[in-house]
Amino acid sequence: MNSLTKASTLSSENISVWFGQRQVLSDVNLVFPANKVTALIGPSGCGKSTFIRTLNRMHELIPGAGLAGSVFLDGEDIYGEDFDAVSVRIKIGMVFQKPNPFPTMTIRDNILSGLRLSGRKIENGDEVAETSLRRASIWNEVKDRLNDQAISLSGGQQQRLCIARSLAMNPQVLLMDEPCSALDPGSTRRIEETIKELSSSMTIVIVTHNMQQAQRVSDQTAFFLADDNTPGGVVEFGSTEQIFNGPIDQRTNDYVNGHFG
């Protein structure tokens, strides 16, 4: 397997998003440093998941979606002419809220599927599969089941399989949209441990509604909010410790202490 790609810095500059005529995000400016975990928190409907999808050009797959602003990967605009969407999504992987393994494929073939679909050469599939599964902290649970169908796994195992599938692409950044929301506490804990381990080799952005999870796994936190009839945006952004223990904005204080949302 190729040596691991170095983590990259990702940033958004004046990102605004529309669905048709309705603006759902306004002027989001955030920086995601290399090898750090950033949590995006805020009530449902404030644009967190929409925003995270702009970071690897998933947003443009939605009919009627519009975008203004820029996203920079190590200083290069991923929406610029030098990038195509497929190459962006190889560099910036994504794990979704619900596990989505390919149900008719084996565990091993799920891991290698992204490489095959992107046309990349697989020199040693067994090594790629093992390395990816180890990094996703699931190798010991599935090493004797690699030819079983992926849907034979539990929900938590399926989610870690999907993380491993993303890791096989050797991304510089990993986006995670509420990856634990459908999982039991034990599976959640294992994925949180995996996130902290992976941050040593990549940049991670996670959307979460779990305030304790944000505090456990992230280095910095952005609080999103959408007021009545106005687009969502960032109210406050800082170190996780500051956001939870010394927020500047009263709305942040109210949210992290459970007063609304």
Domain parsing of the chain, residue ranges? 10-102+173-256
Rounded-to-integer distance, Cα 188 and Cα 97, Å: 12
Identify the pLDDT of residue 7: 87
The pLDDT tens digits for 206-225 are 999 999 999 999 999 999 99
Identify the pLDDT of residue 118: 78
For the chain, the average pLDDT equals: 94
Identify the pLDDT of residue 166: 95
Closest to 46 measured CA to CA, from 216, 247, 203, 222? 222
Model-wide pTM > 0.85: yes
Q: Is 22 exposed, middle or buried (0-12, 13-18, 19+ CB in 10 A)?
A: exposed
Q: Which long-range contacts (CB under 8 A, 24 or more apart) does 178-181 make?
A: 178/49, 178/97, 178/207, 178/208, 178/209, 179/95, 179/96, 179/97, 179/206, 180/208, 180/210, 180/213, 181/97, 181/208, 181/209, 181/210
Rounded-to-integer distance, Cα 108 and Cα 128, Å: 9
Identify the pLDDT of residue 6: 80
Rounded-to-integer distance, Cα 217 and Cα 68, Å: 30
**pLDDT at 34 > cutoff 80:** yes
**pLDDT at 3 > cutoff 60:** no
Q: How many CB atoms are closer than 10 A to CB 109? A: 18
- Options 3.40.50.300, 3.40.30.10, 3.30.530.20, 3.90.1010.10; CATH for 10-102+173-256 is 3.40.50.300
Question: To the nearest whole percent, how much of the chain has pLDDT over 70?
Answer: 98
The pLDDT tens digits for 45-63 are 999 999 999 999 999 989 9
2 confidence band (pLDDT: 50, 70, 90): very low
The pLDDT tens digits for 99-135 are 999 999 999 999 999 888 877 778 889 999 999 999 9
Residue with tokens 């998933």: 58
Kind plus residue range of the DSSP H or E element containing 111: helix 107-117
Distance of CA 251 to the CA centre of its chain: 25
Closest to 46 measured CA to CA, from 230, 219, 177? 230
Kind plus residue range of the DSSP H or E element containing 90: helix 85-91
Closest to 205 measured CA to CA, from 76, 41, 3? 41
1 confidence band (pLDDT: 50, 70, 90): very low
64-81: b (≥16 Cβ within 10 Å) or e: ebbbebebbbeeeebeee
Are the beta carbons of 203 and 35 closer than 8 angstroms? yes
Identify the pLDDT of residue 107: 97
